[in-house]
Amino acid sequence: DAGVIQSPRHEVTEMGQEVTLRCKPISGHDYLFWYRQTMMRGLELLIYFNNNVPIDDSGMPEDRFSAKMPNASFSTLKIQPSEPRDSAVYFCASSLKSSNTQYFGPGTRLTVL
Amino acid sequence: EDKVVQSPLSLVVHEGDTVTLNCSYEVTNFRSLLWYKQEKKAPTFLFMLTSSGIEKKSGRLSSILDKKELSSILNITATQTGDSAIYLCAPPQGGSEKLVFGKGTKLTVNP
């Protein structure tokens, strides 16, 4: 069974450019989470969805960040415009409510120059 | 505010040593606590603990929860270089599916 799939795995862009990160959760999972990880701040939850509906976006740093989940098998995290301080590894994770156990994707390493 | 404190933050041992990693938590409506291992990539799930005093075991790794002390430990016996990683503990936030992650313990196992 395929795990959580993320693309791209690496992204290098210049400040001011739009960046879109993609995630496909594990089939049948009803929760999807977006995290950001840096050395300084550790693993931070940005937003999570339940049945495609955003439940808590309190971790989204500012209006430059937006996330969507148009259907049960796809989600995007968009940064527009990107800034160097957005450089981090972005993880997507999914879970079943009955289990509380989140399974993480391989992450997207974003570098903003 | 919910919080998780892990100790030590960093640990260096030799192959064959036994290590104990600690996790203390403060969350409302506690339901469970999860342990993850993170090498140079994504966190991978190790254990979920829900009941006090019941040890969960997987090979050389084991973990136990103490609800009275609001803590959990992760033991690794006969460590190997492949155990080198950051170990994270995370209880779900009360009334939510959000996990509250600690800063992690960075374990380095030297040959």
Residue type, B43: P
Chain B residues 10-29 within an 8 A CB cutoff of chain A: none
Residue B10's pLDDT band, with cuts at 50, 70 and 90, is very high
Residues of A with CB under 8 A from a CB of B: 31, 33, 42-43, 45, 48, 50, 55-56, 91, 95, 97, 99-107
Q: Do the Cβ atoms of B32 and A100 come within 8 Å?
A: yes
Count of Cβ atoms closer than 10 Å to residue A64 Cβ? 15
Q: What pLDDT is recorded for position A56?
A: 93
- Closest approach of chain B CAs to the CA of A61, in angstroms? 17
Question: Would you state the torsion angle of the CA atoms of residues B7, B10, B15, B20, taken in this order, to the nearest 10 degrees?
Answer: 0
**CB distance A105 to A34 below 8 Å:** no
How does residue A1 score in pLDDT terms, banded at 50, 70 and 90?
A: low
pLDDT band with cut points at 50, 70 and 90 for residue B98: confident
**Is the pLDDT confidence value at A16 over 90?**
yes
Residue of chain B whose Cα is closest to the Cα of A94: B97
Instruction: State the average pLDDT over residues A12-39.
Output: 96
Q: Name chain B contacts of A54, Cβ cutoff 8 Å.
A: none
For A15-81, strand residue ranges (E) read 19-24, 31-38, 42-50, 53-56, 65-71, 74-79
